[in-house]
Amino acid sequence: MEMFEWTPYSPPKLSESFRVTTSQFESGKTQRYYKGKSPRKWFLQFRVRVAEMLEIRDFYRARKGPFEAFLWTEPHSGDLVTVRFSGDSLDIESQWKRNLETGELEVCFGTFAVTFEEVL
């Protein structure tokens, strides 16, 4: 299984939840049922140079977006987690600069965000 090894621009935002169903009875009593853990999700932001941006884009394409799972080291715990991209698209915003010698525009940075979802 492939490994995602790029470092985000800022620490990932973690979202964690549990599936709980609540039933309210006529007597006023409430009962809760634990349905299991929901997959954890991490929101990562990147601001990287062109070469790194293209590497991450190629990794996304090779996984066919959210289709194929991969390994990632969760930075909060250091655990190796099996995840997949959550979302059907990768939207990259490029930042350009003008080459002073040639006058042509060149891409200098790519800024984008991805969400990883844990595979349970």
Whole-number Å distance between alpha carbons of 50 and 47: 10
The answer to whether 116 and 72 are in contact (CB under 8 A) is yes
- Quick one: average pLDDT of 97-112? 77
Q: What is the pLDDT of residue 91?
A: 86
Task: Give the mean model confidence (pLDDT) for residues 18-39.
Answer: 91
Mean pLDDT, rounded, of the chain: 90
Strands (DSSP E) along the chain, which ranges? 3-4, 13-15, 18-24, 30-37, 41-49, 70-73, 80-85, 93-98, 105-118
Domain boundaries, the chain: 8-118
* Most distant CA pair in the chain, distance: 80
pLDDT tens-digit series, residues 106-115: 777 788 999 9
Please state the pTM of the whole predicted model: 0.79
pLDDT above 90: percentage of residues in the chain: 59
Average the pLDDT over 67-74 and give the result.
96
| pLDDT at residue 96, as a whole number | 67
Q: Higher model confidence: residue 118 or residue 89?
A: 118
